[in-house]
């Protein structure tokens, strides 16, 4: 391949363990550069690549791993100087060396990454990389996050064996790819509904998503698919915080479960009243809006979530002026499937009941101010008033 011809970039969402392709370095590209917005996925892929390179270097003293993590410009200079010394070192026994500069964080859009001194140091790093002989030293660099608008990352795209991991780790499709790839890697399958619920409960935490897939696959058993029920039973609702059970119990209408959930929560955290109230209010706001749309005939709860939400959004979303980020105040920023699961997990309360709930939450908040040492009692009394009728 002509050295001036740009090689196709490779995109990975997740890497199945021990399946890194063992391929030769493209002609004209004398180092490997792996980057992306998610440090876990980048580091995981980097570890696989380093293992593949190290397998070709029997002398363990010819393998070196250097940290590229830097909190300031001075640490950037130290990291690059260590890297220069390493790649210029000759193997004791005359064989090939492998050097991994990992956890590079000074390519991000940060104070350190934007500093003029850092940009000058990156010019020095570029010169070092240009002079590397891949026959003598295999170089791997992993970086996350990376501001790809800057000169050095652009140069790496053109001159390195370049891989971008999970182009947007916060994107639902990319996160779904992480789940599906990991399930495949452990020899399991996962249903679409289970994937959606897992993403709702875990959010954009790729490390936890991977761990949850392993746990769920073991629970489902060999040859059995991971079902939505498995996720519901085993996966905590990390994305909504630690107060999910109390909210779930309250809106199921089960007073006994609600009181038990409150007891467990206050045993673990004696000052949990305000976060619990916040969790209850957030869900109540969403359900108020859902109930209003359903009563108006604008939407209905279906097997795929809240049917009619996009159409209703075209009619009413403009009323939420400036509210574009995900918020319980704006139903149209929510995922229709998730909203349907919230509204359909039990009988949807009437609009009057939801309005009364909101008033009870206000009353409970005022009581907490008057009785700060009786937080559990205040919430238990509120739950009885709301659910005993």
Query: 301 to each of 317, 339, 343, 355, how far by Cα in Å?
Result: 19, 9, 7, 20
CATH for 243-387 (3.30.1070, 2.40.30, 1.20.272, 3.90.930): 1.20.272
Question: Which residues, 6+ apart, have CB-to-CB distance to 158 below 8 Å?
Answer: 6
Question: Which residues, 6+ apart, have CB-to-CB distance to 243 below 8 Å?
Answer: 265, 272, 275, 276, 278, 279
Q: Give one DSSP letter per residue of 186-202, joined into a string.
A: TT--B-HHHHHHHHHHH
What is the C-alpha separation between 300 and 88, in angstroms, rounded? 67
The partner residues of 66 in beta bridges, in order of sequence, read: 101
| Averages of pLDDT over each 10 residues, the chain, 389 residues | 42 43 58 91 91 90 93 95 93 85 94 94 96 93 92 94 71 76 91 84 80 93 90 74 73 90 83 88 90 87 75 78 67 74 74 93 94 94 90
What is the C-alpha separation between 284 and 354, in angstroms, rounded? 7
Domain with CATH 3.40.50.300 in the chain: 10-165
CATH for 172-238 (3.40.1170.60, 1.10.8.60, 3.40.50.1100, 3.40.50.150): 1.10.8.60
Provide the CA 329 distance to its chain's centre, in angstroms. 23
Domain with CATH 1.20.272 in the chain: 243-387
Residue 19: the pLDDT is 42
Whole-model pTM?
A: 0.56
The tokens describing 162, both together, are: 């370049």
Pairing assessment for the beta strands 32-35 and 161-165 based on DSSP bridges: parallel
Domain with CATH 1.10.8.60 in the chain: 172-238
Residue 267: the pLDDT is 80
Residue 217: the pLDDT is 93
Question: Which residues, 6+ apart, have CB-to-CB distance to 344 below 8 Å?
Answer: 301
Closest CA to 380 of 251, 261, 268: 261
What is the C-alpha separation between 270 and 252, in angstroms, rounded? 24
Residue 224: the pLDDT is 92
The tokens describing 48, both together, are: 């696989």
Q: What are phi and psi of 102, to 5 degrees?
A: -110, 165
Pairing assessment for the beta strands 305-307 and 300-302 based on DSSP bridges: antiparallel
Residue 108: the pLDDT is 92
CB 99 within 8 A of CB 139: yes
Which residue's structure tokens are 């509904």? 193
CATH superfamily of 10-165: P-loop containing nucleotide triphosphate hydrolases (3.40.50.300)
């Amino acid at each position: 391949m002509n050295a001036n011809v740009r090689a196709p970039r490779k995109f990975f969402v997740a890497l199945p363990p021990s399946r890194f392709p063992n391929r030769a370095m493209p002609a004209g590209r004398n180092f490997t550069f792996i980057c992306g917005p998610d440090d876990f996925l980048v580091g995981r892929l980097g570890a696989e690549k380093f293992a593949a390179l190290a397998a070709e270097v029997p002398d363990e003293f010819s393998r070196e791993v250097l940290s590229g993590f830097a909190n300031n410009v001075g640490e950037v200079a130290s990291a690059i100087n260590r890297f220069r010394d390493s790649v210029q070192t000759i193997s004791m026994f005359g064989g090939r060396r492998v050097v991994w500069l990992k956890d590079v964080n000074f390519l991000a859009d940060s104070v350190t990454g934007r500093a003029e001194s850092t940009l000058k140091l990156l010019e020095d790093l570029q010169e070092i990389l240009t002079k590397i002989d891949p026959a003598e030293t295999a170089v791997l660099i992993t970086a996350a996050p990376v501001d790809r608008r800057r000169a050095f990352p652009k140069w790496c795209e053109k001159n390195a064996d370049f891989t971008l991991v999970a182009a947007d780790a916060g994107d639902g499709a990319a996160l779904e790819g992480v789940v599906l790839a990991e399930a495949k890697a452990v020899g399991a399958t996962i249903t679409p509904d289970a994937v959606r619920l897992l993403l709702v409960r875990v959010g954009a935490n790729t490390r936890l998503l991977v761990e949850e897939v392993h746990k769920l696959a073991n629970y489902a058993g060999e040859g059995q698919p991971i079902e939505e029920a498995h996720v519901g039973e085993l996966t905590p609702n990390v994305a909504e915080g630690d107060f999910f059970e109390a909210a779930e119990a309250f809106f199921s209408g089960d007073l006994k479960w609600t009181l038990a959930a409150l007891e467990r929560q206050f045993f673990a955290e004696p000052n949990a009243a305000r976060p619990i109230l916040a969790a209850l209010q957030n869900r109540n706001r969403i359900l108020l809006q859902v109930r209003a749309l359903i009563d108006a005939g604008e939407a209905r709860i279906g097997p795929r979530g809240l049917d009619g939400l996009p159409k209703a959004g075209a009619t009413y979303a403009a009323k939420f002026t400036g509210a574009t980020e995900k918020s319980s105040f704006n139903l149209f920023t929510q995922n229709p499937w998730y909203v349907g699961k919230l509204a359909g997990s039990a009988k949807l309360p009437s609009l009057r009941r939801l309005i009364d709930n909101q008033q009870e939450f206000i009353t409970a908040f005022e009581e907490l101010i008057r009785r700060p040492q009786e937080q559990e009692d205040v919430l238990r009394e509120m739950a009885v008033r709301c659910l005993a009728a």
